[in-house]
Amino acid sequence: MEWVDEGIILGVRKHGETSAVVEVMTRHHGRHMGLVRGGRSRKMQPVLQPGNSADIVWRARLDEHLGSFQIEPVKMRAAQLMEGPIGIYGVQAMAAMLRLLPERDPHENLYEVFEVIIDHLDKPADAGELFLRFELSMLNELGFGLDLTKCASTGSREELIYISPKSGRAVSASAGAPWKDKLFKYPSFLVEGSVSAATRSELKDAFEITNHFFDRHIYGPRASEPPMSREGFVLAVLKGLE
């Protein structure tokens, strides 16, 4: 068995004296593990850092085996990501969320979003907005996507200013008025077709919204906690916008 793909390093763990088991997010083969012989060498350690992009060849006798990776660096961005908390926490948080997906299950859209985000973690506003869109994509891929295109009550696509915490659907100003204290504010930068940049207040609101739905549909039912790196990322982004 063999395939060739492009991927982004998510994590590494030691294996024996000289090798490493490497976890990657690939474009066409999803989140995948493989053994890198000599992965703990001075040559390979800088390559096998979270956030780096690489060309990957995977080989195994049978499809269900761990297999081995041959990894060639394409973009070495890990050192830059480690320069600040947004980069450090951002990569860790997204890797933790990608681990919610079944291994070897292709998610090309998520790969593309992930790749874009890690190239924009140097600016708090861009990083925050892109991260939120990644979380919305994750919810969608996990089967709990939000419907923010029309009002849950009237079907209208106008004046959508609320989001229902129960249904995850948008609500118009008129339909939501009687329950406005129980609804989330719909951040304007997430409205379809919007060209406005996210404000610090809107980002804060949006982080609370995605956190609610992850807890409601994913972490709560699994009796698990969200990754601490996500909280670190949010705090770093909001602090960077003060």
- What is the rounded distance in angstroms from the CA atom of residue 89 to the CA atom of residue 104? 24
pLDDT of residue 90: 97
Asked if pLDDT for residue 192 goes beyond 90, the answer is no
For residue range 86-139, list pLDDT tens digits in order: 999 999 999 999 999 999 999 999 999 999 999 999 899 999 999 999 999 999
Comma-separated ranges of CATH 2.40.50.140 domains in the chain: 2-76
Q: Work out the end-to-end distance of the chain between its first and last CA atoms, rounded to an integer number of angstroms.
A: 52
Contact 161, 175 (CB under 8 A): no
- What is the rounded distance in angstroms from the CA atom of residue 92 to the CA atom of residue 233? 9
Contact 139, 217 (CB under 8 A): yes
Q: What is the mean pLDDT of residues 9-13?
A: 97
For residue range 137-176, list pLDDT tens digits in order: 999 999 999 999 999 999 999 999 999 999 999 999 999 9
- Report CA-CA distances (Å) from 159 to 151, 185, 209: 9, 12, 19
For residue range 47-97, list pLDDT tens digits in order: 999 999 999 999 999 988 999 999 999 999 999 999 999 999 999 999 999
pLDDT of residue 193: 72
In angstroms and rounded to an integer, the radius of gyration of the C-alpha atoms of the chain is 20
Contact partners, residue 154, CB within 8 Å, separation at least 6: 172, 174, 175
CATH number for the domain formed by residue range(s) 84-240: 1.20.1440.120
pLDDT of residue 196: 76
Q: How many CB atoms lie within 10 A of CB 148?
A: 18
CATH number for the domain formed by residue range(s) 2-76: 2.40.50.140
